[in-house]
């Protein structure tokens, strides 16, 4: 098995051709998010941490339909829990856990966990999470601009990072992954991971003597190894954690896998072509 | 191969940190274990029996409640201590609130009401108007949602006292600040939801009232409240009667005795009382209940009884005034215990709004316990995956093996940090650990590639220059990660805070300790023939 990073012959493609793929995907992702916002009000589905409501994990022999009829209020969702038989995750719109808890205990269910979040607290969390994402992204952008002090290379990094966030968000919508505190953490982590390989590429191309294509290839060898290693770690974490029925970790892992795959594409198509444009045309002008 | 102390100080630094972490994680807590609190609490904390690591609710089970304080406040007012009661009186009548619901503090220049439009029905505008009526011109915009720092601290202390009194020593109440709002977070490992909410949800204001026939019908008089108690005994059960023995302080004893004598409680043979707890105080008053002593908890009469003959005669003789001991009787031992805790810890000045603006979370301890080994398995699997990839890529054990060992050392030092600062580990931290392994290996790959890529390294100087180049990328990437995570470390988004702290500290440990050490290890390996 040969695992050395393949050398891509970038000279065969024009900048326009290279940029087309990532930009099209970014466009599609943005379109998905816009359509989703129009239809359901939010770009991605929000978990109870951001909408308010009650979430309960119960163990019972009853069927899903029987569980549903146990509760007076509407049950928003019933999901069997992986790795644990007869265990279900239930969510409710109502943010008062007391009656729900009573009904569950009355029906003889074993309540493994119950969490409630009031709507106003959830709205607060939503605002803060959005704020955190904006600050994190803005801080990253400012730092990158400060490090390169030139327009095109900075924009290349920032645009890749932006796309690395937007495409996983669209994938979350398509796969029905809810935005929870855990997935917000994954998105923030993605900002850090995404910038890694872009910085490496920019550093090799801009700060080293030598041919553009050689520098790019060297950066790629290192960068692809890094990203693929991280992807492997995250795939394993996702698979193992979901088999073992550990909450939170599968969602975090899956989003990082989405983001890192996107990052591979963005770094070596979008960022490379922007840098080539800068190196051969932007500087000359 | 020799490890020179001076030349390879980076490796020695790593070794020192690994040793320190071992001490932090495994050494039994000795004399300086004071951070974990009094000895009797230790059995209740959610620690592990083999290590000093603390686990949060997600990995140990229990209940967490987060809720803001009920109330509004106005600060920067100027008034003297004499004006306090006048302001309080005006606010009470203007807003229709009880005595315990308003508080003016001359020293701090603050006025607060423990009611608001969400949990009660006083709006900010009404508060501003009432304060204006009391002679202090304030606008609605001067009224801040939330209570004063003094009140918040008081509530925190009382809640912690209650948790201790209840034997829930592992539980903690602490304040959390979010922009524009402050929350109280109460975490109790091993306790279920209703147990915790019952304990922290009520103000716990205990009052003893006398109920007696006056000139124009029945009257009540407040005899004593928490501050009048000199001594509180443990709840007891004796001959089918449950009670809390209390002893009043001197002034209160005198006042109590006087009130008893004035209103006929000192009659021979004691007093008769037919108060019915199911009915309201007003309904009882219409029904000629006789002379009663009422125990009132948060405005609700929880027990009513007449005066026993021997107590009545001690009122009459004045013996009570000399030795003001008294039994507050209750209907059950449970009630007696609750009454005792409330009398001991005192009342909360304001309550937490759990229903409208709070969150609660409960996780079954047995389920949480299972997550502990399982998340270690997950982490180990991730490490194995990383190792496998690294071996595939380099095919040279002398490069790959130190890489994996260094990344593992990073996580180990991070665990040491968590144990040293008593950080309670949760699932989000585990995710953070795995993220740290990811970035750690990334950076080691950068170092290894930079040094090996451009042909053989012949001299120390070439090595240094390449290492420095690699470090520029690593430093820049670390700075971005820290910037991206820092808002989370400050905001109060619950579990995300822990994740952000672990990631930031992990990145710092990596950049400052483990990655330079890996550079030195590589130097030894590639310059072996020098």
Tell me which residues of chain B, numbers 378 to 437, contact chain A at a CB-CB cutoff of 8 Å: 378-379, 381-386, 388-390, 392-393, 427-428, 430-432, 434-435, 437
Determine the pLDDT at residue A248: 80
Strand order in B300-305's β-sheet?
Answer: B217-225, B206-214, B292-297, B300-305
By Cβ distance, the residue of B359, B381, B492 closest to A116 is B359
Classified by CATH at the fold level, domain B62-67+154-200+350-363 comes out as Alpha-Beta Plaits (3.30.70)
Question: How far apart are the C-alpha atoms of A204 and A221, rounded to whole Å?
Answer: 11
For range B294-299, the mean pLDDT: 84
B88 three-class SS: helix
CB B339 within 8 A of CB B347: no
CATH class of A53-116: alpha beta
By Cβ distance, the residue of B375, B385, B488 closest to A188 is B488
Confidence of residue B29 (pLDDT cuts 50, 70, 90): low
Within a 13 Å sphere around the CA of B1, how many CA atoms are in the beta-carbon half? Answer: 11
**Domain B9-53+365-526, architecture per CATH:** Up-down Bundle (1.20)
CB B259 within 8 A of CB B166: no
pLDDT, greater one: A1 or B439 = B439
B49/A contact by beta carbon, under 8 A? no
The yes-or-no verdict on residue B3 having pLDDT over 70 is no
Work out how many CB contacts closer than 8 A connect A with B: 228
pLDDT, greater one: B26 or A158 = A158
Within a 13 Å sphere around the CA of B74, how many CA atoms are in the beta-carbon half? Answer: 28
Q: Domain limits of chain B?
A: 9-53+365-526, 62-67+154-200+350-363, 70-146, 206-345
A117 interaction partners in chain B (CB closer than 8 Å): 359
Question: How far apart are the C-alpha atoms of B138 and B213, rounded to whole Å?
Answer: 44
Question: How far apart are the C-alpha atoms of B144 and B112, rounded to whole Å?
Answer: 9
The yes-or-no verdict on residue A154 having pLDDT over 90 is yes
Lowest-pLDDT range of B1-10, B113-122, B212-221: B1-10
Tell me which residues of chain B, numbers 356 to 375, contact chain A at a CB-CB cutoff of 8 Å: 356-364, 367, 371, 374-375
CATH class of A10-46+121-280: mainly alpha
Instruction: Provide the 8-state DSSP code for B503.
Output: H
Determine the pLDDT at residue B528: 64
Tell me which residues of chain A, numbers 40 to 59, contact chain B at a CB-CB cutoff of 8 Å: 49, 57
Question: How far apart are the C-alpha atoms of A248 and A183, rounded to whole Å?
Answer: 8
Chain segment B139-193, per-residue pLDDT in tens:
888 888 889 988 999 899 989 888 888 877 678 888 887 666 788 889 888 888 8
Give the residue from B29, B277, B69 showing the smallest Cα distance to B183. Answer: B69
Chain segment B458-477, per-residue pLDDT in tens:
778 888 888 888 888 899 98
Determine the pLDDT at residue B35: 38
Q: What is the pTM of this model?
A: 0.77
Q: Take residue A4 and report the two structure tokens written for it.
A: 């050395």
Best interface-test mutation with A: which of B353, B484, B493, B495 has the largest number of A CBs within 10 A? B484
* Interchain contact, A140 vs B484, CB within 8 Å: yes
List C-alpha distances in Å: A160 to A118, A170, A198, A281, B401: 37, 15, 8, 21, 33
Determine the pLDDT at residue B436: 83
Domain with CATH 1.20.1640.10 in chain A: 10-46+121-280
By Cβ distance, the residue of A129, A140, A234 closest to B493 is A129
Question: How far apart are the C-alpha atoms of B336 and B7, rounded to whole Å?
Answer: 71
Question: How far apart are the C-alpha atoms of B481 and B504, rounded to whole Å?
Answer: 7
For range B121-125, the mean pLDDT: 87
Cα–chain center distance at B371: 24
Confidence of residue A6 (pLDDT cuts 50, 70, 90): confident
* Interchain contact, B495 vs A120, CB within 8 Å: no
Beta strands in B155-235 (DSSP E): 172-178, 181-189, 206-214, 217-225, 229-232
Min CA distance, B43 vs chain A (Å)? 23
Confidence of residue B249 (pLDDT cuts 50, 70, 90): confident
* Interchain contact, B472 vs A135, CB within 8 Å: no
Within a 13 Å sphere around the CA of B287, how many CA atoms are in the beta-carbon half? Answer: 13
Question: How far apart are the C-alpha atoms of A18 and B117, rounded to whole Å?
Answer: 58
pLDDT, greater one: B439 or A154 = A154
Determine the pLDDT at residue B2: 59
The yes-or-no verdict on residue A33 having pLDDT over 90 is yes
Question: How far apart are the C-alpha atoms of B492 and B497, rounded to whole Å?
Answer: 7
Q: Take residue B48 and report the two structure tokens written for it.
A: 């592990």
Determine the pLDDT at residue B457: 67
When the candidates are 2.60.120, 1.10.260, 3.30.420, 3.30.1360, the CATH number that belongs to B206-345 is: 3.30.1360
Question: How far apart are the C-alpha atoms of B168 and B431, rounded to whole Å?
Answer: 29
For chain A, the residue count is 285
The yes-or-no verdict on residue B492 having pLDDT over 70 is no
Determine the pLDDT at residue A83: 66
Q: Which residues of B78-88 are buried (b: 16+ CB within 10 A; e: fewer)?
A: ebeeebbeebb
CB B351 within 8 A of CB B113: no
Determine the pLDDT at residue B42: 39
Question: How far apart are the C-alpha atoms of B450 and B468, rounded to whole Å?
Answer: 10
B105 three-class SS: strand
Q: Take residue A49 and report the two structure tokens written for it.
A: 């941490």
Residue of A nearest to B180 (CA): A124
* Interchain contact, A225 vs B439, CB within 8 Å: no
Confidence of residue A285 (pLDDT cuts 50, 70, 90): very low
Determine the pLDDT at residue B509: 92
A185 interaction partners in chain B (CB closer than 8 Å): 428, 431-432, 488, 496, 499-500
Chain segment B305-352, per-residue pLDDT in tens:
888 888 888 888 888 888 888 888 888 888 888 888 888 888 888 888
For range B273-291, the mean pLDDT: 83
Question: How far apart are the C-alpha atoms of A124 and A117, rounded to whole Å?
Answer: 11
Determine the pLDDT at residue B31: 40
Dihedral (CA of B265, B266, B272, B277) sign = positive
Predicted ipTM of the assembly: 0.85
Confidence of residue A112 (pLDDT cuts 50, 70, 90): confident
The yes-or-no verdict on residue B28 having pLDDT over 60 is yes
A111 interaction partners in chain B (CB closer than 8 Å): 362, 364
Lowest-pLDDT range of A204-208, A280-284, B206-210: A280-284
Quick check: do B9-53+365-526 and B206-345 share a fold? no
CB A75 within 8 A of CB A64: no
Residue of A nearest to B451 (CA): A222
Query: Helix, strand, coil shares of chain B as percentages rounded to 5?
Result: 55, 20, 30
Best interface-test mutation with B: which of A128, A147, A198, A234 has the largest number of B CBs within 10 A? A128
Min CA distance, A78 vs chain B (Å)? 18
Min CA distance, A83 vs chain B (Å)? 11
The yes-or-no verdict on residue A8 having pLDDT over 50 is yes
* Interchain contact, B178 vs A124, CB within 8 Å: yes
Determine the pLDDT at residue A259: 95
Q: Which residue has the tokens 């500290």?
A: B505
Chain segment A68-108, per-residue pLDDT in tens:
888 888 888 888 876 677 888 888 888 788 888 888 888 88
Question: How far apart are the C-alpha atoms of B346 and B523, rounded to whole Å?
Answer: 65
Tell me which residues of chain A, numbers 110 to 129, contact chain B at a CB-CB cutoff of 8 Å: 110-118, 120-121, 124-125, 128-129
For range A117-145, the mean pLDDT: 88
Question: How far apart are the C-alpha atoms of B439 and B431, rounded to whole Å?
Answer: 13
Question: How far apart are the C-alpha atoms of B189 and B168, rounded to whole Å?
Answer: 8
CB B211 within 8 A of CB B184: no
Range B70-146 has CATH code 3.40.50: no
Min CA distance, B95 vs chain A (Å)? 25
Cα–chain center distance at B190: 15
A222 interaction partners in chain B (CB closer than 8 Å): 445-446, 449-450, 453
Chain segment A266-279, per-residue pLDDT in tens:
999 999 999 999 88
For range A188-201, the mean pLDDT: 88
């Amino acid at each position: 098995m040969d695992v050395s990073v393949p050398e891509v012959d970038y000279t065969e493609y024009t900048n326009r051709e290279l940029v087309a793929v990532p930009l099209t995907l970014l466009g599609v992702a943005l379109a998905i998010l816009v359509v989703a916002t129009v239809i359901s009000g939010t770009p991605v589905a929000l978990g109870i941490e951001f909408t308010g409501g009650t979430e309960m994990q119960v163990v019972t022999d009853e069927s899903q339909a029987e569980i549903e009829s146990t509760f007076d209020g509407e049950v928003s969702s019933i999901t069997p829990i992986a790795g644990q038989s007869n265990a279900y995750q239930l969510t409710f719109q109502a943010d008062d856990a007391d009656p729900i808890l009573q009904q569950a205990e009355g029906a003889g269910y074993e309540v493994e966990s119950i969490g409630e979040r009031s709507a106003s607290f959830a709205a607060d969390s939503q605002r803060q999470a959005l704020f955190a994402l904006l600050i994190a992204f803005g801080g990253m952008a400012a730092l990158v601009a400060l490090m390169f002090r030139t327009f095109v290379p900075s924009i290349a990094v920032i645009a890749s990072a932006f796309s690395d966030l937007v495409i996983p968000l669209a994938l979350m919508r398509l796969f029905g992954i809810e935005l929870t505190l855990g997935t917000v953490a994954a998105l923030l982590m993605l900002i850090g991971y995404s910038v890694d390989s872009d910085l490496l590429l920019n550093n090799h191309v801009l700060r080293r003597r030598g041919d553009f294509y050689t520098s790019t290839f060297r950066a790629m060898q290192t960068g692809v190894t890094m990203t693929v290693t991280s992807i492997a770690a995250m795939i394993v974490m996702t698979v193992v954690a979901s088999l073992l029925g550990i909450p939170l970790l599968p969602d975090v892992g899956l989003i990082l896998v989405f983001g890192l795959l996107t990052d591979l594409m963005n770094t070596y198509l979008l960022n490379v072509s922007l840098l080539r444009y800068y190196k051969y045309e932007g500087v000359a002008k | 191969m020799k490890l020179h102390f001076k030349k390879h100080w980076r490796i020695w630094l790593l070794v020192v940190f690994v040793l320190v972490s071992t001490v932090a994680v495994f050494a039994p807590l000795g004399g300086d274990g004071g951070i974990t609190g009094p000895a009797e609490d230790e059995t209740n904390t959610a620690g592990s029996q083999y290590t000093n690591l603390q686990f949060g609710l997600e990995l140990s089970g229990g209940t967490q409640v987060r809720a803001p304080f009920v109330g509004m406040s106005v600060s920067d007012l100027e008034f003297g201590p004499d004006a306090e009661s006048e302001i309080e009186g005006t606010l009470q009548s203007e807003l229709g609130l009880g005595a315990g619901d308003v508080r003016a503090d001359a020293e701090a220049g603050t006025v607060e009401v423990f009611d608001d439009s969400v949990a009660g029905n006083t709006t900010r505008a009404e508060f501003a108007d009432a304060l204006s009526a009391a002679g202090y011109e304030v606008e609605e915009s001067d009224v801040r949602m939330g209570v004063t720092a003094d009140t918040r601290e008081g509530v925190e202390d009382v809640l912690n006292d209650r948790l201790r009194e209840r034997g829930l020593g592992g539980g903690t109440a602490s304040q959390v600040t979010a922009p524009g709002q402050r929350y109280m977070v109460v975490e109790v490992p091993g306790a279920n939801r209703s147990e915790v909410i019952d304990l922290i949800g009520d103000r716990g204001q205990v009052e003893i009232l006398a109920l007696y026939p006056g000139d124009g019908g029945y009257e009540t008089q407040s005899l004593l409240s928490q501050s009048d108690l000199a001594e509180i005994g443990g709840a007891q059960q004796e001959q089918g009667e449950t009670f809390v023995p209390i002893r009043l302080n001197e002034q209160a004893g005198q006042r109590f005795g006087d009130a008893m004598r004035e209103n006929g409680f000192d009659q021979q043979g004691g007093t008769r009382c037919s108060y019915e707890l199911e009915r309201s105080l007003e309904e009882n008053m219409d029904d000629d209940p006789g002379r009663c002593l009422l125990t009132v908890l948060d405005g609700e009469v929880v027990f009513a009884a007449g005066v026993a003959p021997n107590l009545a005669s001690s009122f009459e003789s004045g013996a009570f005034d000399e030795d003001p001991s008294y039994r507050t009787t209750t209907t059950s031992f449970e009630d007696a215990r609750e009454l005792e805790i409330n009398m001991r810890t005192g009342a909360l000045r304001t309550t937490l709004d759990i229903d409208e603006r709070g969150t609660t979370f409960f996780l079954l301890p047995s389920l949480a316990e299972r997550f502990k080994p399982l998340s270690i398995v997950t982490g180990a699997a991730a490490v194995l995956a990383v190792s496998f990839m690294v071996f595939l890529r380099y095919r040279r054990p002398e490069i790959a093996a130190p890489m994996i060992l260094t990344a593992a050392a990073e996580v180990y030092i991070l665990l040491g940090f968590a144990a040293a600062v008593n950080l309670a580990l949760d699932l989000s931290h585990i995710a953070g650990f795995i993220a740290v392994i990811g970035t750690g290996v990334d950076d080691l790959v950068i170092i290894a590639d930079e040094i090996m890529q451009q042909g053989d390294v012949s001299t120390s100087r070439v090595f240094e220059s390449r290492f420095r180049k690699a470090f520029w990328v690593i430093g820049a990437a670390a700075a971005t990660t820290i910037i991206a995570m820092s808002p989370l470390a400050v905001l109060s988004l619950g579990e995300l805070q822990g994740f952000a702290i672990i990631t930031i500290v992990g990145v710092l440990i990596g950049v400052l300790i483990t990655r330079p050490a890996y550079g030195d290890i590589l130097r030894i390996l590639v310059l072996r023939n020098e």
